[in-house]
Structure 1
Amino acid sequence: MSSNRYSWLDKPQADREQQAPLLLPTKEIPGSYGIPFITPIKDRLDYYYFKGHDNFFQSKINQYSSTVFRTNMIPGPFMASDPRVIAVLDAKSFPILFDTSKVEKKNVFTGTYMPSTKLTGGYRVCSYLDPSEPSHTKVKQFLFNLLKSRKDYFLPAFRSAYVAPIFSSVESQVASQGHADFNALNNDIAFDFLGEAYFGAPPSKSGSFITFQKKVTIWLLLQLAPLASNVLTKFLPKLVEDLLLHTFSLPSFIAKPGYKNMYEYFNTAGSAALDLAEKVGLSRDEACHNLIFATCFNTYGGLRVLFPGLLRRLAQSGRDWHARLATEVRQAVASHGENGQVTLGALEQMELAKSVVYEVLRIDPPVEFQYAHAKKDFLLQSHDAQFQVRKGEMLFGYQPFATRDTRVFGANAGEFVPDRFVGSDGAKLLRYVWWSNGPETEDPTVNDKQCAGKNFVVLVARLFVAEFFLSYDSFTAEISNSLVGSQVNITSLTKAKAKAGNFY
């Protein structure tokens, strides 16, 4: 990816540090919301079909000569009652979205619209709660307690429920068909891993849950359809797709039978987890619906994007980087592993593998959008100016622009650099990695909206890289775009010539 794609942020190295607030001129926020109803629809069509995501924002940045501006955001009429936002698209203005002293995060998880609570048992689940709401503290503490109680099971569950099945399936398909659809395999196996990791009970072990993944996918699509595009355009004109996906909410009853099965599984398999919920004052019913959302939407939905994204970037990085990763992984396992297997101690020796994960999360964040409402009037700062924000206004951030800010990450900010976060200088850049709805240098608490499973996600991503290069020297893949993230078809695998135990 060419770095000049984000040339609007290019500045000399000396200018990358934030300016002193008093030196920043105060300006009116540029941009316009246009004609009610008409302009929001035009902006929607531009965003989805005529310009595309990046060009939509880039054209406005060029027009206003500012990375902070007013615009309408999707999906607009009739699904969103108010599409007006203040866009913040640089590394200095973006963190305002995490400052809960100035912004409120109530009902903004998916942006300017909110899916029906009929899809979540009638509850506003944790992702839609502001930290000021009492239920937020209870639910998030419950999730923390669950993760803590299961931490010793993550590595063995990943190895047995994920790595062994997916690697053998990939090898088999490549041998018989010449390629392997990694996404399809990942979508099926990821759920079993999460069931094993969280509850010790993978859904596939029950005959009634053979189609579990499909039911979850339907439930996810009903919530995310307003954010999707070019799903039906092979068969229908763009304007017809726009009418079907972006104008009115799809009926929630479509997911009702599948959601009932999902609830039954989580209520049974997650019984011990729900015991933890009662200890923090949360009803089992509300906890179960939150557990479904946290597992199926937040974590499973994230892994469907993250793992193909990792393979995409690694495939494009080439054999030299593969060799460096394989060497690091096998040396770490040889010196700090156990019986030739990856351990937490071995993972901590894999600085390059960790950097690769952070770099993928930086350049391809699983969740691209963040939203918030201003709690009060305040001055918002970009690199070059400060702007007056009024109470009640909605702020919007498109993370792929903010995390590719050349004034922070340099001239190659738009490129995948595997060792970007290696060493002390690389570690300093982690505060600009925000995939988890907060800085990578901070851990989530009950008082913020940072992902409760942040450390779990980073752990399993590092495990994936480590296990992959413990088994393979290199690989090739064909990459294309999918409905969400990247489509990866693995076309060749070179099995490891040296395992951890006999690396030398």
Structure 2
Amino acid sequence: MASSDTKLPLKPIPGSYGVPFFGPIRDRHDYFYHQGRDKFFADRVRKYNSTVIRTNMPPGPFISSNPRVIALLDGVSFAILFDNSKVEKRDVLDGTFMPSTSYTGGYRACAFQDTSEPSHALIKRFYLNLLASKHDTFIPLFRNNLNDHFADLEDKLAGKSGKASFNSSVGAATFNFLFRLITDKDPTETKIGSNGPNLVQTWLAAQLAPLATLGLPKIFNYLEDFLIRTFPIPAWTVKSSYNKLYDGMSHAGAAVLDEAERVGIKRDEACHNLVFTLGFNAQGGLINQFPILIKWLGLSGEGLHKQLADEIRSVVRDEGGVNLRALDKMTLTKSVVYEALRIEPAVPFQYAKAREDLVVQSHDAAYEIKKGEMIFGYQPFATKDPKIFENAEEFVGHRFVGPDGEKLLKHVLWSNGPETDEPTPDNKQCPAKNLVVLLCRLYLVEFFLRYETFTFDFKPLVLGPNVTIKSLTKASSF
């Protein structure tokens, strides 16, 4: 029996997995087609009067060997997912199933490894050292890529359609930045050419198809469900795309791979891990995070735009340019980035298995979880917990300004850990956590040095919004 020093009442975990085989199918139809993601969880919280429940998570049979999870749907219970002494994260990155290692050259990428595996610390330390060695490159390299991005947006707006796809434009800029950061070379110098984002999206889509929906008319829902959640898409269908990414990294990143070998990582394993990091962790995250940032910025209106522009231009003027010291002084800009990361985290799911019998606490009760049970955390419910955040469903740009606001940062969890923690070789927090925050701040700085405000449309997608820029109002010189 697990022990706990909590004085909260110990309760059985409510919820139901339903009839074997049919229960998971019923739940995934509710999740994808009948209710949608948020309503799926909210209805069950109301039904069972609990933020810790039992349910099935997609994809279910046939792809998942066991779709049963214990779902954590508040900001207190969610914290157990970061305690690596109590939970294991071996092969649970994508949830209740794992794509074939054929997608990654036969290797289990570091993101799928548990902290107890020696290779996890070795590879993650390699990542952290690589990022540290590039520290002085972040700002000038990203600013250079943003110049191309903003020029592209303006060209598209001046064209016949009078609008510009933000996602495709920022996706190209992000991929080019990341590839150059790792290799010191442009992807156009390799087999990747200018197709990097498309190659990554093709490769990712095949792996993650069971977790997605195409948004087809309702009449096709059951056909779609059968086609993409009965049999996994074979890796050979996207082999050509992946090989171009691997070959590009192998040739352009020769110096980085030399260093990997020096620290004891096999050259091909290091290359497959770098491609995974470039495609899944970094590109797959950042290409969604920037549209999320722009979406909420746009919804907030011109008042916030003016406040940001005034702060950014004043600090840049006083500091004589854009640098780390200037970025650190922009308190509202920092807060807006944290608020975007809080209200709509680009990766909304966390999974782990209990290493031992344990007790997890919510605000109101304690619950026993048995060794080996799958634990699932839905991050948007944790980071919009009304018992932690006032007006939790609203985007409040100044939420994290000042001492009281800074105290809330421990509840911002987008990076697989609290914002107040740091990634280390011994935890599962994103190694590029600080870089992502820096790039989001830098994006806002570069945007409001050029523009006063903007208009846009967006459509919600499974992994973030699809944003279309309709107009950009240029700033006068300052």
Quick one: which amino acid aligns to residue 98 of structure 1?
Answer: F
Paired residue for 2:180?
196
Give the number of equivalent residue pairs. 474
Q: Do the aligned partners of residues 384 and 219 (structure 1) sit closer, same or farther apart at CA in structure 2, a change above 3 Å counting?
A: same
The match for 1:13 is none
Deviation at 1:141, TM superposition (A): 0.5
* Pairing 1:268–2:251 present: yes
Q: Unaligned stretches of 5+ in structure 1?
A: 1-19, 500-504
Other structure's SS at 2:158 match: helix
Contact 2:192 2:245 in 1 (8 A): no
The residue number in structure 2 matching 1:148 is 132
Checking the alignment, whether the CA contact within 8 Å between 2:298 and 2:455 is kept in structure 1 is: yes
Q: Deviation of residue 408 (structure 1)?
A: 0.6
2:109 is aligned with 1:125: yes
Is 2:81 the partner of 1:97? yes
Query: What's 2:58 paired with?
Result: 74
For 2:21 and 2:454, the matched residues in 1 are separated by: 50
Residues 1:166 and 2:152 are matched in the alignment: no
Task: Report how far residue 187 of structure 1 moved.
Answer: 2.1
Shift of 1:273: 1.4
The structural deviation recorded for 1:145 is 1.0
After TM superposition, the structure 1 = structure 2 runs for residues 240-319 of structure 1, keeping only pairs within 5 Å, are 240-319=223-302
Letter in 2 for 1:82: N
Q: Aligned-pair distance for 1:189?
A: 2.4
1:251 to 1:22, Cα distance in 2 relative to 1, 3 A: closer
Note the C-alpha offset of 1:211: 2.7
Comparing 285-294 with 483-492, greater Cα deviation is found at: 483-492
CA contact (8 A) 1:146 1:276 kept: no
Instruction: Please give the residue correspondences for 1:181-260 in structure 2 after superposition, counting only pairs within 5 Å.
Output: 181-206=165-190, 209-231=193-215, 233-234=216-217, 237-260=220-243
Question: Secondary structure, in 3 states, of the residue corresponding to 1:322?
Answer: helix
Letter in 1 for 2:183: F
Q: Secondary structure at the match of 1:210?
A: coil
The farther-off stretch of 69-78 and 243-252 is: 243-252
Identity of aligned residues (%): 50
Cα deviation, 1:5-54, whole Å, max 9, x if unaligned, reads xxxxxxxxxxxxxxx96431010111111111000000011000011001
Matches within 5 A, 1:394-405: 394-405=374-385
Aligned partner (choices 386, 389, 400) of residue 369 of structure 2: 389
Question: 8 Å contact 2:346–2:463 — kept in the other structure?
Answer: no
Equivalent position to 2:466, from 477, 484, 487: 487
What letter is aligned with 1:324? Q
Contact kept in structure 2, 1:194 and 1:202, CA below 8 Å = no
Q: Give the residue type in structure 1 aligned to 2:35.
A: K
Once residues 384 and 287 of structure 2 are traced to their aligned partners in structure 1, the CA distance between those partners, rounded to angstroms, is: 23
- CA deviations 1:249-289 (Å, max 9, x no partner) are 01110111121111111111111211221232111111111
Q: Is the 2:15–2:53 Cα contact (8 Å) retained in structure 1?
A: yes
Distance (whole Å) between structure 2 residues aligned to residue 72 and residue 298 of structure 1: 25
Give the structure 2 partner of residue 414 of structure 1. Answer: 393
Describe the shift of the 1:257–1:431 C-alpha distance in structure 2 as closer, same or farther (beyond 3 A): same
Conserved? CA contact 1:337–1:345, under 8 Å: no
Q: Specify the code of the residue in structure 2 equivalent to 1:358.
A: Y
Amino acid across the alignment from 2:207: Q
Answer whether contact 1:191 1:202 (CA < 8 A) is retained: no
Shift of residue 367 of structure 1? 0.5
1:36 counterpart SS class? coil
Matches within 5 A, 1:25-104: 25-104=9-88
State the partner residue of 1:362. Answer: 342
CA deviation profile, 1:50-98 (whole Å, cap 9, x unmatched) = 1100111011111100000111111000000000000001011001011
- Deviates most, 442-451 or 192-201: 192-201
* Structure 1 residue 213: Cα displacement: 2.5
Aligned to 1:423: 402
Structure 2 equivalent of residue 320 of structure 1: 303
Match for residue 453 of structure 1?
Answer: 432
State the AA in 2 paired with 1:187: G
> What whole-Å deviation, never above 9, does each CA across 1:88-125 have from its counterpart, x for those lacking one?
01011001011011000100000000000000010011
**Partner SS for 2:468:** strand
Cα offsets for 1:138-165 (capped at 9, x unmatched): 110110111011111111111112x111
1:408-456 Cα offsets, whole Å, 9 max, x none, are: 102x101111111111111000000110000000101111110011111
Structure 1 position 308, deviation (Å): 0.6
Could you tell me which residue of structure 1 aligns to residue 453 of structure 2?
A: 474
Give the Cα–Cα distance (whole angstroms) in 1 for the partners of residues 280 and 43 of structure 2. 32
Q: What is the alpha-carbon distance in structure 2 between the residues aligned to residue 99 and residue 358 of structure 1?
A: 23
Unpaired runs of 5+ residues, structure 2, are none
Query: Normalization by structure 1: what TM-score?
Result: 0.92
Change (3 A) 1:37 1:208: closer
Match of residue 439 from structure 1 = 418
TM-score by length of 2: 0.97
CA contact (8 A) 1:370 1:437 kept: yes
